[in-house]
Amino acid sequence: MTTPGVDLRSPERRLRDEQIAAEPPLAPPELPTDAAPSSMEAHLGRYRRRPVAVAGIVENGLVRPLDTAVKLLEHSRVIIVASEEK
């Protein structure tokens, strides 16, 4: 596991990140019982921006890309893929 670097966030940004991390998770969507499943590709194809896979780490409930050159927009949607720690 990599060692976290120095936290360069401003106090305001750190407070906002903590507020976002403390928000309760969203409830699962209410779907009709006869709703047909669709593939992830079909779901993501509805959006103008294409998904990008980026290596990252979750620290204190916040997702941080490992590559410092990667910039995500505020309120970006991410899919977290985790491996089982051994």
Say if residue 72 is exposed, middle or buried (CB neighbours under 10 Å; 0-12, 13-18, 19+).
middle
The answer to whether residue 74 sits within a structural domain is yes
The answer to whether residue 13 sits within a structural domain is no
Q: What are the pLDDT digits (tens) for 40-71? A: 777 767 766 666 778 888 888 777 888 888 88
More confident residue, 78 or 35: 35
Residue range(s) defining the domain that contains residue 54:
39-86
Q: What are the pLDDT digits (tens) for 12-46? A: 999 999 999 999 988 888 888 898 888 877 776 77
Number of domains in the chain: 1
The answer to whether residue 1 sits within a structural domain is no
Q: CA–CA separation, 77 vs 67, rounded Å?
A: 18
The answer to whether residue 4 sits within a structural domain is no
The answer to whether residue 28 sits within a structural domain is no
Report whether 55 contacts 66 (CB < 8 A): yes
Query: What are φ and ψ of residue 14, in 5° steps?
Result: -60, -45
Query: What are φ and ψ of residue 33, in 5° steps?
Result: -65, -25
The answer to whether residue 78 sits within a structural domain is yes
The answer to whether residue 76 sits within a structural domain is yes
Say if residue 36 is exposed, middle or buried (CB neighbours under 10 Å; 0-12, 13-18, 19+).
exposed
| Neighbouring-strand partners of residue 65 | 56
| pTM of the complete model | 0.34
